[in-house]
Amino acid sequence: MSKWEETKRQITESQVWQSIFRHGYDDTPGNRVQMVSGNVWLHLHPSKVRRHAIRMRFTWCMGGITFLMFLVTVVTGVYLMFYYRPTAEYAYADMKYLEFDMPFGMFMRNMHRWAAHGMVIAVWLHMFRVFLTGSYKPPREFNWVVGVILLVLTMLLSFTGYLLPWDQLSIWAVTVGSNMARATPLLGYEGPFADWTGANPIYDARAFLFGGGEIGPHTLLRFYILHCIFIPLVASLFMAVHFWRIRRDGFSGPPV
Amino acid sequence: MSRELFWLAITLVVTVITNFIPGGRVLILPELFVALMILLYWAAKPGAELDKPVAVQATGPGDDKVHTWPHLVRSEFLCAIFITLGLILWSLVVDAPLEEPANPTRTPNPSKAPWYFLGLQEMLVFFDPWHAGVVLPTFIIVGLMAIPYIDINPAGNGYYAYESRKYEILTFFLGFHILWVSLIIIGTFLRGPGWNWFWPWEVWDSHKIEALTNVNLHYIFGIRSEAGAIIFGAVVVLGYFVVGTAAMYWAIVRMKGQEFMHRWGMPRFVLTSFLFLNLMSVVIKMVLRHAGNIMYVWQTPWINF
Ligand code: HEM
């Protein structure tokens, strides 16, 4: 046995090594299964899948890409959070600061934004693919419903983030996008039957969303917390349910 | 081996490119990420000997399964590498927009919602805000969620089947591609100041005035009184839903047979036709408006439809 083999054996047979890695890396059926079932991340997969299900033509990879985009926004988002203060005095200045003074600042911001847009597009295409392959049919009806919730959450994530740069683009886009809330029947002050319920500009559905009668610093803080904490948390919970269901039901496919 | 070399070459190319972009010289983080992905991809490369029996097996009936590692995991990593590379390159070249600081007293014209909501903003041309902004999105979400429960066709579960799912696919196509995606494209590229229509080669003239010649439907029919308009609109809208539902009933029985209708059941039918008629009402109102300058079908002092 060469010196190299000997050292390798010593390392892989040490207690430390074996406490971390529970199986060898030889390409055997047993190890292949363990690769997946023994790994907390990979075991979201079943250890075997049907052949058709791994074809690009079948999944378009879009669910996975949606998830990848989500992960990219999480990583880059944490970086941005180190430098961003959600108050009207600082928010815009911090954007400039990110751009001109922070290493990777602009790059991280770009990546965050484009990944967010990518996520919206990918989730639509994913839904379209699931529709085309009829994969919502029994037993996956409820996972489709979970998917629709994720679809809405994805757009809300993107929408709440839109406000944070606190520039003209962001406040007006969010104003236009939120104006519909004030037209909600019964609950919005410009909606039908507002007189009857007493909804008024500072006490209606839009004021609840904005944290006040007009878009302002209170809105910024509110959207920041929704964007960085609340919606990601809720979306993660629903993704966990989504993935768990896929794992249980297996990928859809033609009858064997 | 050559495959791994190919990937290595790609990383090298990216490294070189990023090093020539100003400020790109410190971009080691994303490259590390891509390198890690490539490593994992390489680790998950399929071993030739093990896969042969599986391939042979797959031709027979019964089990057509392959190991997730390496087959699926490899495609996932591959896909992740490509997408991440694309995203990195895109982020190096295109900067996220940042305009002047927020100024609540200066409304830009046009003010556009984020692009993914522009289909709904376009709906404001045809419907009042409570309808375009609240009712329609609610119906979209509810309608999407209802799909698995109203579609009882067992065919095409888990594979592409166009022939046996013609109507389902056409309806989805109408809703998704025509009403959602194409309206976003219109809202993004063809709507300018005052939400007026501008072709890409036209200049955005914020003083452009479009004659508002819109009239309400009851007006065309010679009805002038408020009470008359309320009754007229109610008859038209309710009539649309009643006649539409009856027509759908007739069409479905004709196409799929009485037996299918029985199996499908009333709740499914009513929900489907209600949602479908609402979908069509969007199309009808767009046509009425664009072709006949008709604003409201039903005008009342409280709500307009
Ligand atoms: C944040 C959003 C979402 C994420 C991260 C996500 C992720 C995934 C992933 C990774 C898969 C595995 C198969 C594939 O990649 O195609 C999947 C399958 C599935 N998704 Fe999603 N998804 C999301 C949203 C949605 C939406 C909007 C719908 C539908 C309205 C949906 C319905 C389904 C269904 C029914 C399956 C099972 C497909 C099958 O078995 O063939 N998901 N999802």
Domain at A141, CATH number: 1.20.810.10
- CA dist A121 and B122 (Å) reads 19
Contacts for B40 with CB less than 8 Å, ≥ 6 apart: B73, B77
Q: Residue B46's pLDDT band (boundaries 50, 70, 90)? A: low
Report the pLDDT averaged over residues B116-134.
92
* pLDDT given at position B61: 47
Q: Where are the domains of chain B?
A: 3-47+68-93, 115-292
* Best residue for ligand 1 mutational test, from A130, A151, A233 (most atoms within 8 Å of Cβ): A130
What whole-number distance in Å separates Cα of residue A61 and Cα of residue B86?
15
- The span from the CA of B206 to the CA of B192, in Å, is 8
Residue A42 lies in a domain: no
Contact B17, B86 (CB under 8 A): no
Above 60 in pLDDT, residue B26? no
At B140-164, the pLDDT tens digits run 999 999 999 999 988 888 888 888 8
> What b/e string do you get for A31-56 counting C-beta neighbours within 10 Å, with b at 16 or more?
bbbbbbeeeeebeebbbbbbbbbbee
Q: B-chain residues within 8 Å CB-CB of A97?
A: none
Q: Which residues pair with A200 in a beta bridge?
A: A203
Side-chain half-sphere of A1: how many Cα atoms within 13 Å? 7
Domain contains A224: yes
Task: Tell me the whole-structure pTM to 2 decimals.
Answer: 0.89
Yes or no: say if A180 and A197 are a contact pair by the CB < 8 Å rule.
no
What is the count of residue pairs from A and B with beta carbons less than 8 Å apart?
249
pLDDT digits (tens, 9 = 90+) for B222-270: 888 888 889 999 999 999 999 999 999 999 999 989 999 999 999 999 9
Q: Which of A106, A59, A70 is nearest to A240 (CA)?
A: A70
DSSP reduced 3-state for B214: coil
Taking all residues of chain A, what is their mean pLDDT, rounded to a whole number?
A: 91
| Helix or strand holding residue B263 (H, E) | helix B258-264
With 0-12 / 13-18 / 19 or more C-beta atoms within 10 angstroms meaning exposed / middle / buried, residue A9 is: exposed
Are A132 and B164 in contact by the 8 Å Cβ rule? The answer is no
CB-defined site of ligand 1, < 6 Å: A 59, 62-64, 66-67, 123, 126-127, 130, 133, 135-136, 140, 143-144, 147-148, 150-151, 154, 239, 242, 246, 251-252
Measure A75 CA to ligand 1 centroid, in angstroms. 22
**A:51-90 residues touching chain B, CB 8 A cutoff:** 51-54, 56, 61, 64-65, 68-69, 72, 88
A3 found inside a domain: no
| Predicted local distance difference test score (pLDDT) of residue B34 | 67
* Total count of domains within chain A: 1
Note if the bond before A201 is cis, omega within 30 degrees.
no
Question: Does the residue A19 lie in any domain?
Answer: no
Q: What is the ipTM of this complex?
A: 0.91
Q: Which domain holds residue A106?
A: 60-249
